[in-house]
Amino acid sequence: MRVSRRSMLAGTAAGVLIPAVGAVAADSAAAAGLTRRITIYAEALPGGLYGYGLEPGKATIPGPLLEVYEGDTVEIELVNLTDQRLSIHPHGVIYDTASDGAPLNASFNNPRETRTYTWKTRTRYEASGGFWMPGSAGYWHYHDHAMGTDHGTGGLARGLYGGLIVRKRGDLLPAKQYTVVFNEMMINHEMAPDTPMFEARLGERVEWVCVGYGSLPHTFHLHGHRWADTRTGMLDGAADNAQIVDNKNLDPGSSFGFQVIAGEGAGPGVWMYHCHVQTHSDGGMVGLFLVRNPDGSLPDGAQDAIDRFKQHGHAGHDMSPDGRTHA
């Protein structure tokens, strides 16, 4: 899903999460955090799919990319506009059983029902005995946990998911953001040549949020670019010797993110991103990252590469809305 410039933080006009008036301190670790309230609508889409959106009639797959800073609390009013039982379940943040999003705890929306889910975040803190506990910062995700089965298998197979970023204050913010979800043999519920083509201009800072679902193991590979295998994908300084990667495992339920400078060292052009399980890339798990010239024009040869990609064949697979592959 492309976000216009970026889903800004802390109450900007373009923000996905809108701060409440004033700050709240849920506990000592959340001091100075804001309570951010947002309404998300779950609705049916064509082809037996479903999505989350910020307005009625605006649901997408993936759903909106949500961002908060460590210490913030998020109150999500989930409006179920469908005739299905569904929910919203987060990874990486703190919640009680009422906001679990799982039928085990009777935490879900019945058809046409509205329910509020509360997610909290915290900074790292020192526990008793001098041990340090981690904070919430990271690249996470959210998804349905109630449609079809008590594990939300039907919701995941039909598009109910999205990215979630918890930042540390002071983190470097990007110019562009993209969410990439590998789910069975699909990328953002599409197969090549219909997978998303993401774009940036040469030199722009681009953030990728990568999420895995389904029952298949994957890896995420980005041509022409590389990143540090750290929380942010960046180095902390000249002495940081973190491993540099351009391919990383993306198994079901896992997520990671990173930032790159578009075309740095490689130049403008059309670069593939794909699963590096060969039968998966051959089968249609591949998309394009178009790095335009600084003035926004197409680089030499880019249109030819795009045209060639549109002829991509995906080994005769037909993916039905229930996530099953048919020969």
- Mean pLDDT over 193-198 rounds to 97
Domain boundary pick from 119, 143, 167: 167
Question: Greater confidence, 104 or 16?
Answer: 104
Both 64 and 154 in a single domain?
yes
Does residue 12 sit within a domain? no
Q: In what order do the strands lie in the sheet with 89-90?
A: 66-69, 161-167, 138-143, 89-90
Both 198 and 269 in a single domain?
yes
Whether the predicted pLDDT of 12 surpasses 70:
no
Question: Greater confidence, 122 or 5?
Answer: 122
Domain boundary pick from 110, 144, 167: 167
Total number of domains in the chain: 2
For the chain, state the CA radius of gyration: 20
Does residue 200 sit within a domain? yes
Whether the predicted pLDDT of 11 surpasses 80:
no
Confidence of residue 32 (pLDDT cuts 50, 70, 90): low
Question: Greater confidence, 116 or 26?
Answer: 116
Does residue 42 sit within a domain? yes
Domain extent, residue 296, equals 176-326
Whole-angstrom distance, CA of residue 264 vs CA of residue 175:
15
Q: What mean pLDDT is reported for the chain?
A: 89
Both 308 and 189 in a single domain?
yes
Q: Name residues whose C-beta falls within 8 Å of residue 107's C-beta, 6 or more positions apart in sequence.
A: 87, 97, 98, 99, 100, 101, 117
Whole-angstrom distance, CA of residue 262 vs CA of residue 266:
9
Both 38 and 104 in a single domain?
yes
Both 30 and 70 in a single domain?
yes
Both 37 and 118 in a single domain?
yes
Does residue 6 sit within a domain? no
Here the CATH number for the domain that contains residue 73 is: 2.60.40.420
Both 243 and 181 in a single domain?
yes
pLDDT at 16: 58
Both 215 and 136 in a single domain?
no
Does residue 96 sit within a domain? yes
pLDDT at 30: 44
Both 195 and 270 in a single domain?
yes
- Mean pLDDT over 208-225 rounds to 98
**Cα–Cα distance list, 72 to 99, 136, 172, 174, 209 (Å):** 16, 10, 18, 20, 20
Both 143 and 24 in a single domain?
yes
Does residue 186 sit within a domain? yes
Write out pLDDT tens, residues 245-260: 999 999 999 999 999 9
Both 203 and 137 in a single domain?
no
Write out pLDDT tens, residues 65-93: 999 999 999 999 999 999 999 999 999 99
pLDDT at 90: 98
- Mean pLDDT over 16-34 rounds to 45
Write out pLDDT tens, residues 156-192: 999 999 999 999 999 999 999 999 999 999 999 999 9
Sign of CA dihedral 101, 103, 104, 106: positive
Domain boundary pick from 141, 167, 193: 167
Whether the predicted pLDDT of 220 surpasses 90:
yes
Does residue 242 sit within a domain? yes
Both 90 and 211 in a single domain?
no
% of the chain exceeding 90 in pLDDT? 81
Whole-angstrom distance, CA of residue 267 vs CA of residue 202:
7
Whole-angstrom distance, CA of residue 189 vs CA of residue 49:
9
Write out pLDDT tens, residues 103-153: 999 999 999 999 999 999 999 988 888 889 889 999 999 999 999 999 999
What torsion do the CA atoms of 32, 166, 89, 110 make, to the nearest 10 degrees? 60
With tokens 């906001």, the residue in question is: 99
Does residue 1 sit within a domain? no
Whole-angstrom distance, CA of residue 322 vs CA of residue 159:
10
